[in-house]
Structure 1
Amino acid sequence: MQPMRKIIRQILGITKDENFMHAIEHIEVLVSKVLSIFMVVVILVAIADLAIFIIKEVFTTPYGSINTTLFKVFGLFLNILIALEILENITAYLKRHVFQVELVIVTSLIAVARKIIILDLEKVKGIDIIGLGVAILALSISYLIIRFSNSNNRH
């Protein structure tokens, strides 16, 4: 009779752990849904901000000084692209319940590219530029490794 009780306790213990993990998964899904809604709001606000900025700055900028305004516009565009990539990361997690490392690396590459595009070369030290270059190189190599490993796993 004792071994049977022990087996029942083990089964109940597993069930409790499984229930707990199931509840945690529900919480993760709920948090992901809330984050995706917030990210959509952020994207819509960023688009409105971009539209206002373009109307206000681009059309009122005197001839010949559009270059500095363009860098700001490019930065705002890339902010929206980064937000879209983050939203894609969240929705991919909701679909598969797995973080897709490839998407995270692409988002990071866009973020570093944005930093390089809006970089004011007169205010930046050489070591900062080298650091950004190393970051791009490392992210690019990581992306290639992930991409090749994913393509090899599909075949």
Structure 2
Amino acid sequence: MRKLFKRIAENTNDQKFMHFIENIQVLVSKLLSLFMVVVIVAAIVDLGFFLFKDLFYTPHGQFNTTLFEIFGLFLNILIALEILENITGYLKKHVLQVELVIVTSLIAVARKIIILDLKKVSGIDIIGLGIAVLALSISYLIIRFSHRQKV
């Protein structure tokens, strides 16, 4: 009988501890969400200043270089939005959504490819990015097909 009561007390303590840990996870997720909103707002302000400065003060003929930097800044904001979506999705469902993580990773690799200066990188870097895109794409397809089969 004592063993039973001891076991029940241990289970209650374990449940309290797990509830405490879950509360901390929620608190950290909420803080990360707020910080990510601050990062997104700062990135948008930075993009606005960059657009104003470079569109009006860039010498003629150098706009292509500026254009790739602008694309990079836009994609930074999209990546930040995807990360915010990951965090808020976790807050809603308490599950990390792997599909969103892979999509965010694909956007990050695409950003790297778009702003890549081909004069400064080696062939092995390009091969590595290609392998990363291929691996992420295959992962995304596997997850999408597994979700369709469950429904």
Residue 64 of structure 1: CA displacement? 2.3
Give the 4+ runs in structure 1 shifted more than 4 A: none
Pair 1:103-2:104 in alignment:
no
1:70 aligns with 2:75: no
CA-CA distance at 1:130 after TM superposition: 0.5
Aligned residues: 151
Deviates more, 1:111-120 or 1:58-67: 58-67
Q: TM-score, normalised by structure 1?
A: 0.96
Give the equivalent residue in structure 1 for 2:112.
Answer: 115
Q: Percent identity?
A: 72
Partner of 2:52: 55
Find the aligned partners of 1:68 and 1:31 in 2 and give their Cα distance: 39
Q: 1:8 aligns with which of 5, 15, 20?
A: 5
Unaligned 5+ residue runs, structure 2? none
Residue 18 (structure 2) aligns with: 21
Mapped pair 1:136 → 2:120:
no
CA distance in 2, matches of 1:114, 1:151: 29
Larger radius of gyration: 1
In structure 2, distance between residues paired with 1:103 and 1:72: 25
Task: Give the 5 Å matches for 1:20-39.
Answer: 20-39=17-36
SS in 2 for 1:64: coil
Q: Quote the offset at 1:59 in angstroms.
A: 1.6
TM-score (norm 2): 0.98
1:40 aligns with 2:29: no
Aligned equivalents of 2:93 and 2:122: distance in 1?
Answer: 43
